[in-house]
Amino acid sequence: MALRIVASRPNPAIVTLPWSTPLEDWGDDVVVPLPRGLSRHVVRIVRLDDRVYAVKETVEDIAFREYRLLRDLQRLGLPAVVPQGVVTGRTDDREEELPAALITEHLQFSLPYRSLFSHGLSVDNVTSLIDALVVLLVRLHLTGFYWGDVSLSNVLFRRSAGDFAAYLVDAETGELRDELSPQLREHDLTVGCENVFGELMDLQASGTVTGEVAGAEVVERLRTQYAALWAELTGAEEFGADELWRIEQRIERLNDLGFDVDELDIVTDFGGDTLRIQPKVVELGHHQKELQALTGLNVEDNQARRLLNDLASFTANFDLGREDRHLVANRWLTEIYEPIIAMVPADARGKLEPAEVFHEILVHRWYLSEQAGKEVSIFDTARDYIDTVLSTKPEEAVTATPD
């Protein structure tokens, strides 16, 4: 049987991987010792040139189905791992058939939930992970994606200005439809509550997290946060014709949550005395798009909000409010952000994303200023943070070349 590789933007080096060897037997010459989440399949993370991939053994039909589904999610701009290809026709040295393999790009600076706790996360951070999972689930449901196996294990988390952003990493049980019924959404939510509860109890039993995990309270938060966010993003609102300001207020509330409103359904009654509004198309990334338009930086939405706040402070401190905002943003980028990031030593750049480093420096500045009784320079803060905080953090990214 001939080896077959179906790939998007293929890396020719994929051919050089030891496909005639079962995945569990791949050696350190290609495998990167990076934390992996729990999986029903054998998964290995490999490095090819300057790229890092996750390889999963599975059944051929399922591999192609998940590959195409992940490509659909990518085209829709949803937070999921990027599919690279499917390998079939694998045989070992005795010509015995080996499972097909799905290849996805490794998501830099992301970790499974268990690794986050082994990297210092406390029980108090569980709610942040749940909130990130809720945002992911709502975004998927808005686009008609039925997950089928909602769990912490099927997600990778990236830090985002003290919180987290969640990315779908396993779409094997998913389906993409035009629209999800309330019953399917409820089923996804129920499965998620059951899985998350079990995962948290297992996490506590293993001693990975210190302190008691209030599993029932966490699951209740998952339900209530999902219901609240879904209602805010999709719920209809009625008011009098003399309260048109409430349309802008609704849009501002969604913007504050990080969502842009691309389409709003506005209906009046026969007399024109009552209006009914309902968001029709919403998408996360309001702050992300604004920051990227101003500076070119592409970061998580919470990080973008934090950086925009610092840009606003910079504008106020130098009385630049009457200047062109793009010019002010470029000045902030070249005088503040880029010099701060350049201060991070090369051997520490795999610990946190640059935008997360900048966020933590801003937080650190608040603590130092409070202790000093005066505002501490952002550059003095950066030096102290790099020496006393960043240097103690573990690596969370795969570097471009082996150590």
The one-digit pLDDT tens for each residue of the chain (403 residues) are: 688 999 887 788 889 899 999 999 998 888 887 656 566 789 999 988 888 899 999 999 999 999 999 999 999 999 999 999 999 999 998 889 999 999 999 988 888 998 888 877 888 889 999 999 999 999 999 999 999 999 999 999 999 998 999 999 999 999 999 999 999 999 999 999 999 999 999 888 888 887 788 889 999 999 999 999 999 999 988 888 788 888 888 889 888 888 888 888 888 876 767 888 888 878 888 999 999 999 999 999 999 999 999 999 999 999 998 999 999 999 999 999 999 999 999 999 989 999 999 999 999 999 999 999 999 999 999 999 999 999 988 877 654 343 3
**Is residue 289 classed as helix, strand or coil in its secondary structure?**
helix
What digits encode the pLDDT tens for the residues 91-149?
A: 998 889 999 999 999 988 888 998 888 877 888 889 999 999 999 999 999 999 999 99
Question: For the domain 111-234, what is the CATH superfamily, name and number?
Answer: Transferase(Phosphotransferase) domain 1 (1.10.510.10)
Q: Which of 170, 52, 42, 166 is nearest to 116 (CA)?
A: 166
Structure tokens at 159: 């830090």
> What per-residue confidence (pLDDT) applies to 399?
42
The count of other CB atoms within 10 Å of the CB of residue 297 is 18
Cα angle 384-386-391, degrees, rounded to a multiple of 5: 125
3-state secondary structure of 264: strand
- Residue 162: CB partners within 8 Å, gap ≥ 6? 128, 302, 359, 363
